[in-house]
Amino acid sequence: MAKKVVIDAGHGGKDSGTVNNGIVEKDYTLKISNYIKKRLDDLGIQNSMTRTTDELLDQTTRPKRAQSFYGSGSDVIVLSNHLNAGGGDGAEVIYSLRNNDTLSKKIAKELENAGQNVRKYYQKRLPSNSAKDYYYLLRNTPNNETLIVEYGFTDNSNDANLIKNSWENLAEAVVKAIADYVGVPYSKDISNYYIVKKGDTLWSIAKNNGTTVEKIKEINNLKSNLLSIGQKLLLTNNTYTVKKGDTLYSIAKKYNTTVNNLKSVNNLKSDLLNIGQKLTIK
């Protein structure tokens, strides 16, 4: 079953969250959530938001709201966006006791690629009952795949600057990780997609674009030949998987592009690559 995403903007209303260095957490979590929503829409990943305005959601309402869209199945990712405070620096991802670390690890890796250091991705247990999650949203959204992303510390000046100047890059990093995790082809540029029109078939699209049905199915992870109007497809395989010994320079040379172009298209803030990392080639 295709995965759905519930995007939760932390805090809201009279609960501002942390406030430091000119950053009000509830406002940034909403900005980040709105950005992620737009981008998941671009990629054709079904999603909803727990709040779209400056609304207070109490500890009962928030988990209920999160499960009101797609239910309580494990095919629903609940992504709760937060900023941290308390004298540290870097991002954190907290995932629930019922889940493994696959998605959290991908998010951590993409945040690092976007220039933010990641302290850790981890699980946290309730002191009074170690069988339960520490955070209520994780505890009270079974059996969803619920996780909290803390993008950085508002009381750390480097993090505060990164959040203020590059929050869209950090949000995009999470979008990329989710796309990879749910098996939807990722591109930062919406103009790379072919949008299915009325009357299209895989066969007609393949024929008109000089490719094959098999290739389109492979690139887009399609299990059947059924298409829906508005569905977004990538028609060329522009993903390169980093192998041992690769550098941005060697990959750029191979694909007739530049290191700067690769970095911009893939939202990379450093030259470091990880084996297995997927890069979009344009």
Which residues contribute to the site for Zn ion (CB under 5 A)?
10, 17, 82
What span, in angstroms and rounded, lies between the C-alpha atoms of 100 and 95?
Answer: 8
> Hunting for tokens 């008109």 — which residue is that?
208
CB nearer Zn ion, residue 17 or residue 90? 17
CA nearest to 22, candidates 151, 158, 161, 115: 161
Residue 273: its H or E element: none
CB nearer Zn ion, residue 18 or residue 67? 18
Residue 14: CB minimum distance to Zn ion, A: 14
CB nearer Zn ion, residue 37 or residue 82? 82
Q: What are the helix (H) ranges across the chain?
A: 25-43, 61-67, 102-113, 136-139, 157-182, 202-208, 213-220, 248-254, 259-265
CB nearer Zn ion, residue 10 or residue 44? 10
What span, in angstroms and rounded, lies between the C-alpha atoms of 12 and 54?
Answer: 5
The residues with which 92 forms a beta bridge, in sequence order, are 120, 150
Residue 82: CB minimum distance to Zn ion, A: 3
CB nearer Zn ion, residue 86 or residue 210? 86
Residue 4: CB minimum distance to Zn ion, A: 23
Q: Return phi, psi of residue 191, to 5°.
A: -70, -10
| DSSP for 41-72, written as a single string | HHHT--EEES-SSS----TTHHHHHHHTTT-S
* Residue closest to Zn ion, measured at CB: 82
Residue 244: CB minimum distance to Zn ion, A: 39
What is the number of other CB atoms lying within 10 angstroms of the CB of residue 198?
A: 6
CB nearer Zn ion, residue 82 or residue 232? 82
Residue 66: CB minimum distance to Zn ion, A: 15
CB nearer Zn ion, residue 15 or residue 41? 15
CA nearest to 214, candidates 200, 227, 202, 198: 202
Residue 80: CB minimum distance to Zn ion, A: 8
Question: Could you give the angle at which helices 157-182 and 25-43 cross, rounded to 10 degrees?
Answer: 30
Residue 11: CB minimum distance to Zn ion, A: 6
